Structure 1
Amino acid sequence: MATASTWQTGVVTAIGAETPHAKTFRLRLAEPRTHRAGQFYVVRLTAPDGYHAQRDYSVANAPGGDDIELTVEKLPDGEVSAFLHNDVEVGDVLQVRGPIGRFFSWDGATPIVGVAGGSGVVPLMSMLRLARRADRADLMRLIVSVRSPEELYYADEIAGPETTVVYTRRALERSSRPVGRLTVEDLAPLVEGDREVYVCGSQGFCDTATSLLLGAGVETKRIRVSRFGPTA
């Protein structure tokens, strides 16, 4: 029986484009395990000569069911992400291990705020989907910082009264907020009370967002951070 620490197989059942540089891969696991919103799986590739390459990818779908959805950004010189984007097709089998990451996970019961930079929205989307599925969208507030509309993940789904999108370089014509980086003023209305805050993105984004949250009066103990590296 598969556990979070053992490898198992997942059959690719669907592939969908999120942005020009990101795709979501749906995998049907041989031995499904229920993940918590915010957790991730490790994907491992094995070359004919036995060489292994593996990377961590957050789960985008809400917990439950036999499938997991992993949204992968194709990065320059990324071994695993480039292979997934260029070579993997529906019906292919991948090796995966998980779910992992209890600290940055949510049980769907307590009010939270999600702060995402770019592809850091993936684990927070799992949380948002969980809240909406339970008809408790009020439990989660989500703010996403992204360069332009073309780079917004889940663009057809993410909009709602509980979400805010901050465009840093180019915005939609109907956007009421001027283009610019995330500010304390963007965050302050979302973080009142004792909501825990989940921050996910690049090292630089997470550092900046954490500083802004502290400036908005959020206690350090209420902030959970998940940073991702430059290669994948």
Structure 2
Amino acid sequence: MPMPAPGSVRWVKATLVGSRTEVPGTRTLVIDSEDFTPALAGQHVDIRLTAEDGYTAQRSYSLASPAGAKPFEITVDRLPDGEVSPYLVDGVEIGDMLEVRGPIGLWFVWRPVQVEPITLIAGGSGVVPLMSMIRTRQAAQTGGDFRLLYSTRMPERFIYGQELMTLDAEADWFTLHTLYTRQAPPSDARGAHRLNADDLRDLAFAPEMGSSIYVCGPTPFVEVVADTLMQMGHDPAKVRTERFGASG
């Protein structure tokens, strides 16, 4: 599949054409725009809201859909004190208009021409751009093997859970490792604790395999994981990170 070129950074009009709840407080929005340039896997968009008094607020959201998808999808996690995410999760309705800018970003992307093993490491909703990569790999049916290490608080916060578990069972190129931090199912021998060096050593592709690694999540999570990977001997040039703060 030919890969689309990077998009314009101008604001364009878009329409919400579909949505679904992934887990409580997390909603996937299906957005269509005639003027939106098809994206690469791992890119993000800016969403801008404008109030009646002219006040504007904008936030960046990773794309969840596979590369080139139109309409495209974002998955939004509601932050209690956020300006934009509560409206996107609870307020915006099918047919409503949005302003969108993007796609943006060329560093944190995966392309099907990459044949090396890929380790994906997600903290919470940091799984969203990694899901775009997984869906792109599935659609392209080419590229290296994928391993996803997904750190989440509890089973109820397992975003894309059914899709990922089905893929893990059916695709020989994909392996899922779910790592719970607060509450694990009784069947989980690992138990609940934060992702640590032992997890990375046991579950990620080893440094000598030349894996590319993509890490996405809250800033403290990403920094600890990236530092640990480099201490383990992974090539810093092959560790790509995307982080997000508390604003929403």
Q: Under TM normalisation by the shorter chain, which class is it?
A: over 0.9
Which residue is 1:120 aligned to? 126
Q: 1:44, 1:95 within 8 Å by CA — same for their partners in 2?
A: yes
- Aligned residue pairs, count: 231
Rounded Cα–Cα distance in structure 2 between residues aligned with 1:3 and 1:154: 27
1:104-183 aligned at under 5 Å gives the runs 104-110=108-114, 111=116, 112-136=118-142, 138-159=144-165, 160=168, 161-183=174-196
Pick aligned residue for 2:204 from 190, 209, 213: 190
Residue 138 of structure 1 deviates from its aligned partner by 4.7
Say whether residues 1:21 and 2:34 are aligned partners.
Answer: no
Segments of 4+ moved more than 6 angstroms: none
RMSD (Å) for aligned C-alpha atoms: 1.7
Distance change in 2, residues 1:143/1:3 (3 Å): closer
Percent sequence identity over aligned pairs: 38
What TM-score do you get using the length of structure 1 for normalisation? 0.94
| 2: CA distance, partners of 1:167 / 1:158 | 15
SS at match of 1:157: helix
Equivalents in 1 of 2:7, 2:131: separation in Å? 24
CA displacement at 1:10 relative to structure 2: 1.5
Q: Is the contact between residue 138 and residue 162 of structure 1 (CA under 8 Å) also seen in structure 2?
A: no
* Shift of residue 170, structure 1, vs aligned partner: 0.9
Structure 2: how far apart are the matches of 1:165 and 1:136?
24
Give the conservation status (yes or no) of the 8 Å contact 2:230–2:236: yes
Work out whether residues 113 and 143 of structure 2, in 8 Å CA contact, stay in contact via their aligned partners in 1: no
SS, match of residue 200 in structure 1: strand
Runs of at least 5 residues in structure 2 that lack an aligned partner in the other structure: 1-5, 169-173
Q: SS at the partner of 2:164?
A: coil
Matched AA of 2:56: H
TM-score (norm: length of structure 2): 0.88
Superposition pairs of residues 1-150 of structure 1, within 5 angstroms: 3-110=7-114, 111=116, 112-136=118-142, 138-150=144-156
User: Residue by residue, what CA displacement relative to the aligned partner does 1:131-183 show, whole Å, maximum 9, x if unpaired?
Assistant: 12223475322111011011111011112151111001111233232221112
Aligned letter for 2:157?
E
Aligned-partner residue type, residue 221 of structure 1: A
Aligned-residue offset at 1:215: 3.1
Structure 1: unaligned runs, 5 residues or longer: none
